[in-house]
Amino acid sequence: MLPHDVIGMRRSFHSFPETAFLEYRTAALVAERLAELGYAVRVGPEVMSMDGVRGLPSKESHQQAQEAARAAGASPLWISRMPNGQTAVCGDLKRGDGPVIALRFDMDALPVQEIKDDTHLPSLKGFSSSCEGRMHACGHDGHTAIGLAVAARLASPETIWRGTLRLIFQPAEEGGRGAQPIVNHGLLDDVDIFLAAHLGCQLPSGTIALAADGFLWAEKWNVTFKGVAAHAAMCPEEGRNALLAAAISIPALYALPRDGQADTRINVGLLHAGRTRNVIADEATLEMELRSSTNDGLKRLTSGARRTLEGAALTQGATIDIDVYGTAISAISDTSITERLHHAVLATKGGEVIQTWPIGGGDDATFMMQRVQERGGQAGYCLIGADLTAPHHASAFDFDESALEKAVDILFSFVEKTQ
Ligand SMILES: [Zn+2]
């Protein structure tokens, strides 16, 4: 049921977006295809250690997502091997002696509502999201399709590469939570060469950045203010207003001073508070993220944000709990990888090559890069240019599909030509 061409695969994944740790249909289709191609496939607990993973969806969300995935044609057998959000898939193909080469592809979508508009290609061509409130708004549908297309080409008996090819399909890149359990399981420990790629990132179609820079250090927080409910007219003085504490904290967070030594970003993306109009709100939750170009910058930012949140809680006599829900670190591509990649690009139909381009955010593939580098391997992260209709994470996001084949060519050639 999954097409074999890269654009067809991308459209199939796009039409059924699944968010972090709920990528059951996507992962089951990936596992099935890799197995058909002759890869030794490991999934779920065979490639992930979930100790300490934050923010897993509820039991009911897993059940619903699994049911929906089965109804959408995913294999119940593969799904049964991915309990409790362990939706990572790894395919190994061994061809004699040689390096272990790992490529990482992320699979998750976002809780974003896709626009319905005939100028939007997914609407026009009938492959827009079939799931209310969820959307592939970052291009990970493309990444998954690229991974499977590369898998097929490298499995051909006519190829000459030698060693072990390891294709890692990662869940939950958004929020920075999916890579760490894979690293903790040890899946990167024997990797000699590692490469991850991202489409778009404001890089135009036909251009390849051999390395991404400007990965931001980040923390993702879930903040809960607890107050005391009270009648809003009869005895408001008995209440402790959690909603007001949260509301006060938000402009103060955005007003934290700029950092003289590092770039910083702060965003509150969600606020839930209160119960009804005539009750002093006893609970409020914020979902926010903090990022910086350096680890020290992030430390200064997080300590300022903690102080601000605690101060806002204090004004209302509320209490506060900060749950660090996800993290991201920076990483630098090894020159040996950017050089191999350059050769790989030259071996394809070409395109404009630039050395580095700012990613403008983060990617938890950096945890994988760090582990590979710590253990003596070489790691890199490249960007494949693709014209965008709207910025990443926007509801009108779409990318130029001609970038898919280009990416497949480059990654194929990266493995095939680096022997
Ligand atoms: Zn992304």
CA of 174 from ligand 1 middle (Å) equals: 7
Please check the confidence at residue 359 and state whether its pLDDT lies above 80: yes
User: Quick one: 226 exposed, middle or buried, by C-beta within 10 A (0-12, 13-18, 19+)?
Assistant: middle
Going 330 to 334 to 340 to 342, the CA torsion angle's sign is: positive
CA of 236 from ligand 1 middle (Å) equals: 45
Q: Average pLDDT for residues 344-363, to the nearest whole number?
A: 88
**Partners of residue 43 on adjacent β-strands:** 89
CA of 172 from ligand 1 middle (Å) equals: 10
79 — pLDDT class (breaks 50, 70, 90): very high
CA of 237 from ligand 1 middle (Å) equals: 47
Per-residue pLDDT at 327: 85
Please check the confidence at residue 91 and state whether its pLDDT lies above 70: yes
> Which tens digits make up the pLDDT trace of 338-348?
999 999 999 89
> Among residues of the chain, what percentage have pLDDT more than 90?
91
> Which tens digits make up the pLDDT trace of 137-170?
999 999 999 999 999 999 999 999 999 999 999 9
349 — pLDDT class (breaks 50, 70, 90): confident
Supply φ then ψ for residue 313, to 5 degrees.
-65, -40
> Which tens digits make up the pLDDT trace of 13-47?
999 999 999 999 999 999 999 999 999 999 999 99
Per-residue pLDDT at 414: 97
Per-residue pLDDT at 415: 97
Per-residue pLDDT at 419: 55
**Partners of residue 347 on adjacent β-strands:** none
Per-residue pLDDT at 418: 60
CA of 200 from ligand 1 middle (Å) equals: 9
CA of 138 from ligand 1 middle (Å) equals: 5
CA of 361 from ligand 1 middle (Å) equals: 9
Per-residue pLDDT at 417: 79
287 — pLDDT class (breaks 50, 70, 90): very high
CA of 393 from ligand 1 middle (Å) equals: 8
CA of 170 from ligand 1 middle (Å) equals: 12
Average pLDDT taken over every residue of the chain: 95
CA of 108 from ligand 1 middle (Å) equals: 9
The residue ranges of every structural domain in the chain are: 6-214+330-416, 217-327
CA of 207 from ligand 1 middle (Å) equals: 18
Structure tokens at 76: 């119940």
CA of 137 from ligand 1 middle (Å) equals: 8
Q: Is it true that domain 217-327 has CATH number 3.10.20.600?
A: no
CA of 360 from ligand 1 middle (Å) equals: 11
Q: Average pLDDT for residues 202-220, to the nearest whole number?
A: 93
CA of 387 from ligand 1 middle (Å) equals: 15
**Partners of residue 161 on adjacent β-strands:** none
CA of 37 from ligand 1 middle (Å) equals: 27
CA of 66 from ligand 1 middle (Å) equals: 23
Min mean pLDDT across 214-218, 296-300, 403-407 is at 214-218
CA of 411 from ligand 1 middle (Å) equals: 18
CA of 314 from ligand 1 middle (Å) equals: 37
Q: Average pLDDT for residues 168-189, to the nearest whole number?
A: 95
Please check the confidence at residue 132 and state whether its pLDDT lies above 80: yes
Measured from the Cβ of residue 189, the count of other Cβ atoms closer than 10 Å reads 13
Q: Average pLDDT for residues 213-227, to the nearest whole number?
A: 93
Determine the topology of domain 6-214+330-416 in CATH.
Aminopeptidase (3.40.630)
User: Quick one: 214 exposed, middle or buried, by C-beta within 10 A (0-12, 13-18, 19+)?
Assistant: middle
CA of 75 from ligand 1 middle (Å) equals: 26
Per-residue pLDDT at 46: 98
Q: Average pLDDT for residues 270-283, to the nearest whole number?
A: 97
Alpha-carbon distances of 267 from 69, 144, 218, rounded to whole Å: 33, 28, 11
Per-residue pLDDT at 351: 80
Min mean pLDDT across 129-138, 213-222, 304-313 is at 213-222
CA of 229 from ligand 1 middle (Å) equals: 40
> Which tens digits make up the pLDDT trace of 363-375?
999 999 999 999 9
Q: Average pLDDT for residues 278-292, to the nearest whole number?
A: 97
Q: Do 6-214+330-416 and 217-327 show the same overall fold?
A: no
Per-residue pLDDT at 1: 82
CA of 315 from ligand 1 middle (Å) equals: 38
CA of 362 from ligand 1 middle (Å) equals: 8
Nearest residue to 55 via CA among 367, 357, 372, 323:
323
Please check the confidence at residue 328 and state whether its pLDDT lies above 90: no
Q: Average pLDDT for residues 73-84, to the nearest whole number?
A: 96
CA of 228 from ligand 1 middle (Å) equals: 40
Assess contact for 122 and 128: CB atoms under 8 A. Answer: yes
**Partners of residue 381 on adjacent β-strands:** 196
CA of 198 from ligand 1 middle (Å) equals: 7
Q: What strand order describes the sheet that includes 207-213?
A: 40-43, 89-95, 163-170, 100-106, 193-199, 378-384, 207-213, 352-358
Q: Name 297's Cβ contacts closer than 8 Å, sequence gap at least 6.
A: 217, 259, 261, 262, 263, 264
> Which tens digits make up the pLDDT trace of 244-267?
999 999 999 999 999 999 999 999
Per-residue pLDDT at 302: 98
Assess contact for 18 and 109: CB atoms under 8 A. Answer: yes
Please check the confidence at residue 95 and state whether its pLDDT lies above 60: yes
